[in-house]
Chain A
Amino acid sequence: MSSITADGHASHAHSSSEFGVGEFISTYVFSRDHKVIGIQFLFSTLLWFLVGGLLAIGIRWQLAWPWSDMPVIGPMLFSAEGGQISPEFYTMLFTMHATVMTFLVIIPILAGAFGNYLIPLMIGADDMAFPTLNMLSYWVMWPAFFFFGGSFFVAGNGASSGWTSYPPLSSVPESAPGSGLAQTMWLLGLTCVGISSMMGSVNYLTTIIQMRAPGMTMMRLPLTIWGMFITALLQAFALPVLTAAGFMQLLDRTVGTGFFIPEALSVNNSPMAPGGGQPLLWQHLFWFYSHPAVYIMILPAMGMVSDILCCFARKPLFGYKPMVYAMNGIAGLGFIVWGHHMFVSGMNPGLGMTFMVATMMIALPSAVKTFNWLGTIYGGKIQFTTPMLFSLAFVSMFVVGGLSGIFMAATPVDIFIHDTYYIVAHFHYVLFGGTAMAVFGAIYFWFPKMFGRTMNEFWGKVHFLLTFVFLNGTFFTMHILGAVGFPRRLADPYHYETFRHLQPINQFMTICAILMVASQIPFILNFFYSMFFGPKAGRNPWHANGLEWQAPSPPGHGNFDFQPIVYRGPYEYGSPETDQDYYPQTQPPTERGKADVPPTLAAD
């Protein structure tokens, strides 16, 4: 094992038996143990998930019954307006919903929570390469929480120029109620998230490259790790661009530069002094990061799903290498397709054609992955556990999201559906139907490892079924709205004749959305109940192959109580070489028929 780890650990090994306040803080608060940091990320992001979900209900309420008093919540939140959502408040709602969901939920739950927790365990390391940096990557999220959270309360009710924060709306304080201090705080929050991800990605890359257990070649890595690895690469290359752009916008707002503000601009009848900039420049810089970011939000999920599917189909992954190449292909192409967000932005239409071809091609690796997942369950012995159900849902929802992407990639069609609910449907299928489903699956799957106890299967299935039904009820219908041209981000779409007949269908979606949020109650209860009272899980409750399942549940400090040595890839389920239907990566090769239980399992 590499020497970096040894240093990293010498300083925070447990020595004394007494457990003082200082010890508590260093173990559970400012911990440098990747597992604790992962769980800290998990709890924080789940909490923000709830916040984001409630903001979404606000949006949906307005679209279903505009200008009507919101029962119960309305008078509590905005009594001044008599419980109604004002258009100013509405712009804040969708801005902060998207911001919270992307920057405080999906990205940190995948990379921060699962990345931290799983990477060292799955590659057989005892911690991250840089434990202190790792701790910092969690703690700089707190200023981000503070800035985003605080921006709800400053004048103007939160940032309100969309999560894409397009200038000049976002740069000129006079242009929108939330474009004052709230927008500045939004930018600072974004910077903190960026720094956190940056620290994380350096750590992940180093750890994966340097600290794999003996025998763990790159081509024996579980796809979860490949997903995390490529995500970290994307972050390392794309994130600096966004951080720089965010900084330029901050300068535009505070010291009066004009990177994104054109000449002779006047907003609200007051002329804006500096100029000479280009609003489209922001869009290029923003999407240069944020398009790869949508893959940051899906690649680790794809990896986790692949692992779960194999485990419960009791079968090797179909096409490991093509899957790895597909992930790399997505990452590579991901850098040259940002312009598809700008087909109607005023960008040179000639460029539109180039971006369109590139975007079409990025659908290809996604297709390859889908077919390989199908190949994986083909001919297996499928166990319908809760994590498996969520993973299967991931596959079917990802198909919908991927296919709807083709409509947008077709530039002429995008002219019509851009900025309509079609887009909203698309990315919710990918992000909620896809990533969030994978995250739920992953929580049920790795929960026994994290807390040493299993979650209740029955309530898990109830949670799955309700979520799945209401998810489709909410988001599938959005395609239909999009086909009518129903624009996103309108506080009152029924102001337009063309969309007036869509109100009933919006009400249907709102009811589904409320029920979808309510469907999370069994999950929350199950989660906390099982954490303390669930049945105790052994090391390897699912009979899985990965290294993490050979460590104790939960793993102690330094993870493994033996030196893991890797003999094969992680997907040897149902191998004819052994009598069990699984073949852990650490189990030495045995003669056919004499598969002895490895010492690590006998310990249970």
Chain B
Amino acid sequence: MSIPILGTLIIVWAAMDWYPLEGHWFPERVVEDGNIDHLFYFILWLTGIVFIATGILLFWFLWKYDAAKNDQPVVFTHGSHYLEVMWSVVPAIILLFLAIYQMDAWAGARMERPVLANGQPKPPIARVTGRQFEWKMQYPGEDQKFDTPDDLYVTNVLHVPRDEEVVLEIESEDVLHSFFLPNFRVKQDVVPGMKQFIWFKPIKDGSYDIVCAELCGWGHYKMKGQITVQSRNDFDVWLKKTYDEQELSEFSLAEAE
């Protein structure tokens, strides 16, 4: 009876370590900070070893102590103090180590906002506002201040310069959303009534998905944006061009009325 279970379990754990599919793993990373990936693989190794070890033990016992084959009397024991202590203390140390080991990564991702040369927190390059079901982006314009006449507004499109610490201010206009950039290892719920900041340092040009990861209504699935990483130069050009287009369309709109 244990044979078929053994078979399936082997398949299962084979899938864990040597899954043969390409591209079915983390999407390409385009930011400098590789802590999350590193930690993931580290834990995968750790848990993988525990998983395989317990799996082997389980099946070894099942095979060895099958009542049909085992004519030894059962080992009459109520436990072992020594073993209990061992298997409490060893995992405790490993878990505590893990907890401490990842604190820096967490602090880097969430608590240590990049600063300017003068020690001031770096101002956001843009403000992202979630609403059902789109991402509204607002760039502060020349004066570096939001909500002034020279602001630039775009929808579902975000451009950021490469090789710079990018800070974004994120907000919600209506319900909860979650600003998720899979390739950037960034995710932050967007809460109405709260202003939050996220940061990352992109290092590779290209266009990537902006995903909404928190249920925000029936159109949740289509709340998609696009983030483009480009050199500082191209970024400035894009900013200028888009700003001019905005002026133009406002102007023509006014005329048409």
| Chain A residues within CB distance 8 Å of chain B | 86-88, 90-91, 160-162, 166, 168-169, 172, 175-177, 262-268, 275, 278-280, 313-322, 344-346, 349-350, 352-353, 356-357, 360-361, 363-364, 367-368, 370-372, 374-375, 377-384, 389, 392-393, 395-396, 399-400, 403-404, 406-407, 410-413, 415-416, 418-420, 461, 465, 468-469, 472, 476-477, 479-480, 483-485, 487, 489-493, 495-498, 501-502, 505, 571, 573-576, 581
Q: Which residue of A lies closest to B86 (CB)?
A: A371
Q: In whole angstroms, what is the CA distance A320 to B81 when docked?
A: 11
Chain B neighbourhood of A392, CB < 8 A = 5, 58, 62
Are B180 and A487 touching (Cβ within 8 A)? Answer: yes
Chain A neighbourhood of B58, CB < 8 A = 374, 377, 392, 395-396
Are B25 and A403 touching (Cβ within 8 A)? Answer: no
- B115: interface (CB < 8 Å): no
Are B182 and A484 touching (Cβ within 8 A)? Answer: yes
Q: Which residue of B lies closest to A418 (CB)?
A: B187
Are B54 and A374 touching (Cβ within 8 A)? Answer: yes
Chain A neighbourhood of B109, CB < 8 A = 412, 415
Are B65 and A360 touching (Cβ within 8 A)? Answer: no
Given contacts A378-B65, A418-B187, A505-B21, contact A406 B73 (CB under 8 A): no
Residues from 170 to 198 in B contacting A, C-beta threshold 8 Å: 173-176, 178, 180, 182-183, 185-194, 196
Say which residue of B23, B78, B99, B185 sits within 8 Å of A415 (CB atoms): B185
Are A383 and B67 touching (Cβ within 8 A)? Answer: yes
Residues from 212 to 247 in B contacting A, C-beta threshold 8 Å: 212-222, 224
Are B87 and A483 touching (Cβ within 8 A)? Answer: no
Chain B neighbourhood of A403, CB < 8 A = 47, 50-51
Chain B neighbourhood of A393, CB < 8 A = 5
Q: In whole angstroms, what is the CA distance A171 to B113 when docked?
A: 33
**Interchain nearest-CB distance for B181 vs A (Å):** 9
Among B8-16, B118-126, B137-145, B156-164, which stretch is in contact with chain A?
B8-16
**Interchain nearest-CB distance for B106 vs A (Å):** 4
How many CB-defined contacts (below 8 Å) exist between A and B? Answer: 317
Say which residue of A91, A280, A314, A353 sits within 8 Å of B106 (CB atoms): A353
- B208: interface (CB < 8 Å): yes
Are B98 and A315 touching (Cβ within 8 A)? Answer: no
**Interchain nearest-CB distance for B158 vs A (Å):** 15
Chain A neighbourhood of B190, CB < 8 A = 346
Given contacts A318-B78, A370-B54, contact A352 B106 (CB under 8 A): yes
Are B192 and A88 touching (Cβ within 8 A)? Answer: no
Chain B neighbourhood of A346, CB < 8 A = 188-191, 194, 196
A-B contact pairs, 29 of them (CB 8 A): A87-B218, A87-B221, A90-B218, A168-B176, A169-B215, A316-B77, A316-B78, A318-B80, A321-B79, A350-B111, A370-B54, A374-B54, A380-B75, A381-B65, A392-B5, A403-B47, A407-B44, A410-B39, A413-B39, A413-B43, A416-B182, A419-B187, A419-B213, A469-B8, A477-B15, A487-B213, A490-B221, A502-B24, A573-B74
Among B88-96, B146-154, B249-257, which stretch is in contact with chain A?
B88-96
Given contacts A346-B194, A480-B24, contact A496 B185 (CB under 8 A): no
Are B186 and A415 touching (Cβ within 8 A)? Answer: yes
Q: Which residue of B lies closest to A468 (CB)?
A: B8
Are B62 and A168 touching (Cβ within 8 A)? Answer: no
Chain B neighbourhood of A396, CB < 8 A = 9, 54-55, 58
Are B24 and A491 touching (Cβ within 8 A)? Answer: no
Are A576 and B78 touching (Cβ within 8 A)? Answer: no
**Interchain nearest-CB distance for A259 vs B (Å):** 13
Given contacts A176-B218, A267-B132, A413-B39, contact A505 B12 (CB under 8 A): no
Chain B neighbourhood of A352, CB < 8 A = 106, 110
4 further A-B pairs in the complex, CB-CB below 8 A; given A346-B194, A367-B88: A352-B106, A410-B39, A472-B11, A505-B21
Chain A neighbourhood of B61, CB < 8 A = 374, 377-378, 382
Q: Which residue of B lies closest to A88 (CB)?
A: B218
Chain B neighbourhood of A491, CB < 8 A = 218, 220-221
A interface SS class: helix
- 7 smallest beta-carbon distances between A and B, as pairs: A262-B193, A379-B75, A319-B79, A485-B182, A349-B110, A574-B74, A403-B47
**Interchain nearest-CB distance for A415 vs B (Å):** 5
Q: Which residue of A lies closest to B23 (CB)?
A: A501
Q: In whole angstroms, what is the CA distance A313 to B70 when docked?
A: 11
Are A279 and B192 touching (Cβ within 8 A)? Answer: yes
Are B196 and A574 touching (Cβ within 8 A)? Answer: no
- B117: interface (CB < 8 Å): no
Q: Which residue of A lies closest to B207 (CB)?
A: A497
Q: In whole angstroms, what is the CA distance A353 to B101 when docked?
A: 12
Chain A neighbourhood of B96, CB < 8 A = 357, 360
Q: Which residue of A lies closest to B28 (CB)?
A: A498
Are A162 and B215 touching (Cβ within 8 A)? Answer: yes
Are B191 and A280 touching (Cβ within 8 A)? Answer: yes
Chain A neighbourhood of B132, CB < 8 A = 175, 267-268
Are B95 and A361 touching (Cβ within 8 A)? Answer: yes
Q: Which residue of B lies closest to A342 (CB)?
A: B189
Residues from 32 to 79 in B contacting A, C-beta threshold 8 Å: 35-36, 39-40, 43-44, 46-47, 50-51, 54-55, 57-58, 61-62, 65-67, 70, 72-79
Chain B neighbourhood of A263, CB < 8 A = 193
Q: Which residue of A lies closest to B212 (CB)?
A: A487
**Interchain nearest-CB distance for B114 vs A (Å):** 15
- B18: interface (CB < 8 Å): no
Q: Which residue of A lies closest to B35 (CB)?
A: A412
Q: In whole angstroms, what is the CA distance A268 to B173 when docked?
A: 10
Are A498 and B77 touching (Cβ within 8 A)? Answer: no
**Interchain nearest-CB distance for A372 vs B (Å):** 7
Are A91 and B218 touching (Cβ within 8 A)? Answer: yes
- B155: interface (CB < 8 Å): no
Are A498 and B182 touching (Cβ within 8 A)? Answer: yes
Are B39 and A576 touching (Cβ within 8 A)? Answer: no
Are B91 and A363 touching (Cβ within 8 A)? Answer: yes
Chain B neighbourhood of A371, CB < 8 A = 83, 87
Are A574 and B88 touching (Cβ within 8 A)? Answer: no
Q: In whole angstroms, what is the CA distance A479 to B114 when docked?
A: 33
Are A168 and B39 touching (Cβ within 8 A)? Answer: no
Are A483 and B25 touching (Cβ within 8 A)? Answer: yes
Most buried by B among A160, A262, A356, A396: A396
Are A384 and B66 touching (Cβ within 8 A)? Answer: yes
Q: In whole angstroms, what is the CA distance A374 to B219 when docked?
A: 48
Chain B neighbourhood of A484, CB < 8 A = 23-27, 182
Q: In whole angstroms, what is the CA distance A498 to B178 when docked?
A: 17
Q: In whole angstroms, what is the CA distance A392 to B185 when docked?
A: 37
Q: In whole angstroms, what is the CA distance A497 to B109 when docked?
A: 25
Chain A neighbourhood of B208, CB < 8 A = 498
Chain A neighbourhood of B106, CB < 8 A = 349, 352-353, 356, 411-412
Say which residue of B24, B65, B79, B99 sits within 8 Å of A505 (CB atoms): B24
